[in-house]
Amino acid sequence: MSRYPVRRHVRWQPTSIGSTDTPKTSVIDTSAPLLKRQPYYSEILQVSSQLEEVTTTMSIVSISDGVGSNINENYLRALAAQLHVETLDDKDAEDYLILLRSFEAVLRSIDNAPDYIAPDSLPQKTLEDRIFWQPASKEPLQRLESPIISVTGLPTTLGLHQSLFPEGNRYPISPIDAVVVSRILEAGDIIKGTSTCESFCASPLSFTSATGPVHNPLLHSYTAGGSSSGSAVLVAAHHLASRGGSSPSGQTVELAIGTDQAGSVRIPASYNGIYGLKPTFGLVPYTGAGSMSPMIDHLGPLAAELEDVAVLLEVMAGYDGYDPRMTPETPLVHRIKPYLKLLLQARQEIQSKLNPGHKLRVGLLKESFHIPGVAADVRDIVYQAATRYFEAIGACVVEVSIPMHQQGPTIWTAATRPSMSSYLCQGNPSGHLSFLSPHVQTK
């Protein structure tokens, strides 16, 4: 029997089960037209009593005597009627029965074959024992819930209650690692667990997740920002503890990953006093993460030190061959820039210059300081600090106006809400972008 390196996805049976006729031993060319009988069609049906099981060679399928089938003539004629085939004589029915039963047997043989496991996925010997925690309700610190970025074997929650998923009141279990997770593991790093994100990955505050509110480690009972609230808090809590601050009540991490469609990495980073980077679109593969809209999906690093942000970005970035968000500008993995080295070089150059920012022209977006809901004291502090510190290093600070920025929330909502159900909750893959960024020129 032929074996193909495919994972089983075949689950096909006729909807009507009736009496089973003994199938003929035959060889059928499945590339022959099906809806129009050719004069020579019956001549290619050859009896082969020596075949003991289903075999396939290119487009030729064979079935031996004695192989059971649930397809009978009544089912065939009902199927033909659904396909608007109004006339089907007895000879055609006999030929098509052999054809369908042969294909059914081929599908069954693939379905019964062992799953193909890629060599890279086989267990690897390690120098130390691998220890996995058993989730237990009595010990909540052992509960690992993946909010949006896929980790093999863990549920994907999206910050929602399990009743909102189509899987039937249960969280879907991820069968894969997201590409960024795989790259982190390949680099020798350790994935300690997964964190909380806000409901539908769409809240800038940290009290909407189905698992409860996420408190700011700097000030309990205050918001930690969102939607990657858990990721930012874990990093901030670790940083506080390492500097002699309050000891965290649970585990912490040095680095984390978040998703960013409208600030979900940058907002919680700001609220918790750490760094969060939204990378250039298409630089970091989004494969394996819950999508809100392919035009705005980003994965970004969070860390307490800028050097750690550069290191994590260097590990995650690069073309993966799957993500439709990749652009002609996306570098191959072996062509990724040495971000940490570039950062250290830039710092040395800045320290050696009297006015390192004298060539910089920094724009402060006028409309962003007048968004409804922004506190006046926060607005003034940010505006004044940005002006003072950039000018102190010799930069030219100017106010820039983009009136359409005020329509951003409306456009964002209209663009993401229709796609969230399909891409985010149902897990359907997003399509390819229909256009490139305006600055990308192709011949």
Tens digits of residue pLDDT in 329-338: 899 999 999 9
Exposure letters 41-77 (e unless 16+ CB within 10 A, then b)? beeebeeeeebeebbbeeeebbbbeebebebbbebbe
The predicted structure's pLDDT at residue 228: 95
Report the alpha-carbon distance of residue 255 to residue 63 in Å, rounded: 57
108 and 131 inside one domain: no
Give Cα 113 distance to the centre of its chain. Answer: 28
Single-letter amino acid, residue 405: H
Question: Could you give the CA distance from residue 367 to residue 59 in angstroms, rounded to a whole number?
Answer: 63
The pLDDT, as a whole number, for residue 424 is 83
Residue 285 domain-assigned (yes or no): yes
Looking only at the bridges linking them, the beta strands covering 361-365 and 396-400 are parallel
Strand partners, 62: 27, 55
Instruction: Please measure the distance between the N-terminal and C-terminal CA atoms of the chain and give it in whole angstroms.
Output: 49
Q: Is the pLDDT of residue 56 over 60?
A: no
Mean pLDDT computed over 394-401: 96
372 touches 410 (CB < 8 A): no
Give me the mean pLDDT over the 268-278 stretch. Answer: 97
Angle between helices 306-316 and 179-186 (to 10 degrees): 110
Give the model's pLDDT for residue 1: 35
Mean pLDDT of 422-429: 78
Question: 173 phi and psi, to 5 degrees?
Answer: -95, 130
Q: Does residue 250 lie within any of the structural domains?
A: yes
What was the pLDDT predicted at 115?
A: 74
pLDDT at 431: 72
The DSSP secondary-structure symbol of 227 reads S
Q: Pull the structure tokens for residue 295.
A: 């035009």
Is residue 178 within 8 Å of residue 149, measured between CB atoms? yes
Shared-domain flag, residues 173 and 204: yes
Report d(CA 370, CA 393) in Å as an integer: 27
- 370 CA to centre of own chain: 34
> What is the residue range of 246's domain?
119-337+405-426
Do residue 219 and residue 278 come from a single domain?
yes
Residue 384 lies in a domain: no
Q: Please, which residues have CB within 8 angstroms of residue 97's CB and are 6 or more apart in sequence?
A: 21, 23, 71, 72, 73, 76
Q: What is the pLDDT of residues 92-115, one digit of tens each?
A: 888 888 878 877 877 777 777 777
pLDDT digits (tens, 9 = 90+) for 286-315: 999 989 888 899 999 999 999 999 999 999
d(CA 39, CA 22): 25
Query: Among all chains, which residue has been given the structure tokens 């329509």?
Result: 407
Is pLDDT at 47 greater than 70 in this prediction? no
C-alpha to C-alpha distance for 316 and 300, rounded to whole angstroms = 9
* Residue 256, pLDDT above cutoff 80: yes
Q: Which of 298, 292, 224 is nearest to 260 (CA)?
A: 298
Average pLDDT, the chain: 78
For the cut 80, the answer to whether the pLDDT of residue 60 exceeds it is no
> Could you tell me if 238 and 261 lie in one domain?
yes
Rounded to whole angstroms, the Cα distance separating 378 from 374 reads 7
pLDDT in tens, 174-216: 888 999 999 999 998 888 888 999 998 889 999 999 999 999 9
Which of left, alpha, beta for 190 (phi over 0: left; psi -120 to 50: alpha)? Answer: beta
**Cis bond leading into 227, ω under 30°?**
yes
- What's the pLDDT band for 2 if we cut at 50, 70, 90? very low
In the block, residue with structure tokens 């022959």: 32
The pLDDT-based confidence of 43 (bands split at 50, 70, 90) is very low
Phi (first) and psi of residue 364, to 5 degrees: -105, 115
Task: Note whether 302 and 223 are same-domain residues.
Answer: yes
Instruction: Indicate the number of domains in the chain.
Output: 2
Give residue 4's pLDDT band: very low, low, confident or very high (50, 70, 90).
very low
**SS3 breakdown of the chain: % helix, strand, coil, rounded to 5?**
35, 10, 55
Residues 165 and 254 in one domain: yes
Rounded to whole angstroms, the Cα distance separating 317 from 284 reads 4
Whether residue 19 is predicted with pLDDT greater than 60 in this model: the reply is no
Q: Is the residue at 264 inside a domain? A: yes
- Position 308 in a domain: yes
Say yes or no: 224 and 285 in one domain: yes
Q: Which residue has the higher pLDDT, 79 or 125?
A: 79
**Does residue 192 fall inside a structural domain?**
yes
Q: Answer yes or no: do 228 and 330 share one domain.
A: yes
* 226 has a pLDDT exceeding 70: yes
357-396 pLDDT per residue, tens: 888 999 999 999 998 888 999 999 999 999 999 999 899 9
Q: What is the rounded distance in angstroms from the CA atom of residue 335 to the CA atom of residue 319?
A: 10
Examine residue 382 and state whether it is found in any structural domain, yes or no.
no
- d(CA 274, CA 306) in angstroms, rounded, equals 9
Indicate the range of 37-46, 292-301, 347-356 predicted with least confidence: 37-46
CATH number at residue 176: 3.90.1300.10
Over 70: is that where the pLDDT of 52 sits?
A: no
Give the integer Cα–Cα distance in Å for 106 and 55.
7
Q: Same domain, yes or no, for 86 and 125?
A: no
What the block records as the tokens of 181 is: 């997770």
| pLDDT tens by residue, 112-139 | 777 767 665 666 666 666 554 444 444 3
Is residue 214 situated within a structural domain? yes
What pLDDT, on a 0 to 100 scale, did the predictor assign at position 442?
Answer: 63
Q: Among 2, 51, 1, 57, which residue's Cα sits nearest to residue 23? A: 51
Whether 30 shows a pLDDT value over 80: the answer reads no
pLDDT value of position 358: 85
Pair (167, 90) in one structural domain: no
Let me know whether 174 and 88 are in one domain. Answer: no
Same-domain check for residues 104 and 240: no
